[in-house]
């Protein structure tokens, strides 16, 4: 791996004074499949080993994928565009999401740092497992692993689609439309508070933010 990709450049400016901390603010796109493809396969394998049949596992995985598309939309619309009215509010917003709007050509700051992604994944799986345990008298808890595996696939699709529509050359009309949709959110003030979907636009239609 080219170590130069982790250093500040004109395209990828410095965020932190510490070289060490600043290095970890940059993540190459291929870190997403390297980390999360094995995790998704492991979750599906474990779900099957816990007794979940393949048809049921596929259904729960699709449910997890769809839930991610909603999560992607709602997080972008609320948390990512929230700036607390405090002294630390602007900095909080910049580190969370503003950096992407300010430096939208930065290839190294498009995907979430793996440490943060894995931390959040740990929180979510704990919440889902608690729900599965509460429902266990009526529903065997093995579903939670397939559901979360589907959510991980959805997350990967989101991150890689986001990278592709920024820095790829879409030829398929589906991705061309996504790119136009997302670029309006970035560059047209009329759509600053609209067009929050990245990998899909369905929730913008549902909630009338298209």
- Top pLDDT among 109 and 49 is at 49
CB half-sphere exposure, 67, CA atoms < 13 A: 16
pLDDT at 6: 67
Residues 148 and 125: beta-carbon distance below 8 Å: yes
pLDDT band per the 50, 70, 90 thresholds, residue 23? confident
Tell me the C-alpha distance between 74 and 58, whole Å: 24
Q: 33-37, 55-59, 83-87, 135-139: which has the minimum mean pLDDT?
A: 83-87
pLDDT at 108 over 60: yes
- Top pLDDT among 113 and 43 is at 43
CA-based nearest residue to 100, from 39, 185, 21: 185
pLDDT band per the 50, 70, 90 thresholds, residue 168? very high
Average pLDDT over residues 10-30: 84
CA-based nearest residue to 6, from 17, 122, 97, 21: 21
pLDDT band per the 50, 70, 90 thresholds, residue 43? very high
Tell me the C-alpha distance between 57 and 78, whole Å: 31
pLDDT band per the 50, 70, 90 thresholds, residue 36? very high
Residue 91 CA, distance from chain mean position: 21
Tell me the C-alpha distance between 185 and 192, whole Å: 5
pLDDT at 25: 84
Using a pLDDT cut of 70, give the percent of the chain over it.
97
Residues 185 and 63: beta-carbon distance below 8 Å: no
Tell me the C-alpha distance between 86 and 72, whole Å: 26
**3-state class of 171 per DSSP?**
coil
Q: What is the mean pLDDT of the chain?
A: 91
pLDDT at 95: 81
pLDDT at 32: 94
């Amino acid at each position: 791996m080219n170590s130069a990709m982790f250093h500040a450049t004109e395209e990828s400016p410095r965020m932190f004074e510490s070289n060490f901390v600043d290095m970890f603010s940059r993540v190459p796109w291929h870190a997403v499949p390297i980390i999360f493809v094995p995790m998704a396969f492991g979750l599906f394998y474990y779900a099957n080993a816990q007794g979940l049949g393949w048809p049921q596992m596929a259904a729960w995985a699709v449910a997890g994928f769809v839930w991610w598309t909603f999560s992607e939309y709602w997080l972008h619309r609320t948390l990512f565009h929230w700036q607390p009215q405090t002294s630390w509010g602007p900095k909080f917003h910049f580190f969370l999401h503003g950096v992407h709007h300010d430096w939208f050509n930065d290839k190294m700051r498009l995907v979430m740092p793996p440490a943060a992604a894995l931390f959040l994944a740990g929180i979510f799986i704990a919440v889902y497992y608690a729900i599965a345990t509460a429902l266990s008298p009526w529903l065997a808890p093995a579903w939670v692993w397939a559901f979360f595996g589907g959510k991980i696939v959805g997350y990967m699709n989101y991150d890689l689609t986001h990278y592709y529509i920024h820095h790829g050359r879409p030829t398929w009309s589906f991705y061309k439309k996504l790119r136009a949709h997302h670029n309006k959110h970035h560059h047209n003030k009329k759509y600053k508070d609209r067009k929050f979907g990245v990998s899909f636009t369905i929730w913008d239609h549902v909630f009338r933010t298209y």
